[in-house]
């Protein structure tokens, strides 16, 4: 308990942690179920649940927050922007510069951004959960950028790369 405050790389070295000695791939692939953790704001995980933003708070869509504890509502699926992944096809890795879609595992809604003010930090835009089972719009697309890397087509490393 409480180990969720530490980075996943550090947690993987803690005896008794679910990540300790866990078998995981070296590179991130489309179709992977992941958690994303903010390295700046107290280490919150990207989180969502079935609740909608209330009337008068930007778009009345599904809430997206940062949550500092491990939770099944922190799980997201890496998807291609406009097509589904063939589970029987070859593994396709996510690379620096790729445009992706993040689908919340529990609710099947996409991570979505638009030009409504964020409810807490008015200088940022609101992020919501939108669409269902892969439907949505171009505001559901996110570009992967590996911090401190310049080359495109470099595969994203699980636990080792910091992305923005």
Q: Using one digit for the tens of pLDDT, what is the confidence trace for 9-34?
A: 666 666 666 655 666 788 999 999 99
67 touches 45 (CB < 8 A): yes
The Cα 20–Cα 137 span in angstroms is: 38
Dihedrals φ, ψ of 101, to 5°? Answer: -125, 135
* Closest of 109, 131, 10 to residue 64, by C-alpha: 109
Question: Which whole number is the average pLDDT over 103-130?
Answer: 90
135 touches 6 (CB < 8 A): no
Secondary structure of residue 104 in the 3-state scheme? strand
The strand ranges marked E within 5-157 are: 33-34, 45-52, 62-67, 76-79, 99-104, 110-117, 125-130, 141-143
68 touches 2 (CB < 8 A): no
Report pLDDT digits (tens) over 19-76.
556 667 889 999 999 999 888 766 789 999 999 988 888 788 999 999 988 899 999 9
Q: What is the pLDDT of residue 152?
A: 78
């Amino acid at each position: 308990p409480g180990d969720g405050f530490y980075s996943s790389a550090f947690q993987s070295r803690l005896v008794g942690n679910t990540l300790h000695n866990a078998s995981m791939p070296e590179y991130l692939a489309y179709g992977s179920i992941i958690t994303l953790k903010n390295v700046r704001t107290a280490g919150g995980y990207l989180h969502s649940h079935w609740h909608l933003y209330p009337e008068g708070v930007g778009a009345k869509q599904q809430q997206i927050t940062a949550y500092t504890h491990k939770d099944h509502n922190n799980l997201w699926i890496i998807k291609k922007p406009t097509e589904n992944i063939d589970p029987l096809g070859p593994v396709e890795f996510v690379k620096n510069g790729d445009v992706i879609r993040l689908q919340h595992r529990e609710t099947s809604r996409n991570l979505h951004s638009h030009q409504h003010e964020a409810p807490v930090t008015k200088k940022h835009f609101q992020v919501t959960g939108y669409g269902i089972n892969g439907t949505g719009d171009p505001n559901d697309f996110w570009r992967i950028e590996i911090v401190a890397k310049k080359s495109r087509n470099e595969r994203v490393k699980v636990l080792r790369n910091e992305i923005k």
